[in-house]
Amino acid sequence: MRAFLTLGSLLIVLAIIALSVRSQLQANKRFLPTSAAASGSASMPQLGGSPQQMMSQYQRELDKAMKAGAQHTADQAASAADEAR
């Protein structure tokens, strides 16, 4: 009797977890943009080729994004310094 209750409880918990995971996956699908170009943001690079090529392309894109972020930060600091004078 105790084994049946334990098994039943386990099945109920697994069903609740499955429903939660399913609802989370559906929520992500609703909020993903259909096109990055339509939203005005930069589109993600399309990676292709061998894993080594994909890694080097990813690293180049990451470096480019980091440099753009650093430049933006430097521009903000320069404009803040100009405003403080």
Q: What are the per-10-residue average pLDDT scores of the chain (85 residues)? A: 94 96 81 52 62 88 90 83 76
First-to-last C-alpha distance (Å) of the chain:
81
For the CA atoms of 9, 14, 20, 23, what is the dihedral angle to 10 degrees? Answer: -130
Per-residue pLDDT at 7: 96
Per-residue pLDDT at 9: 97
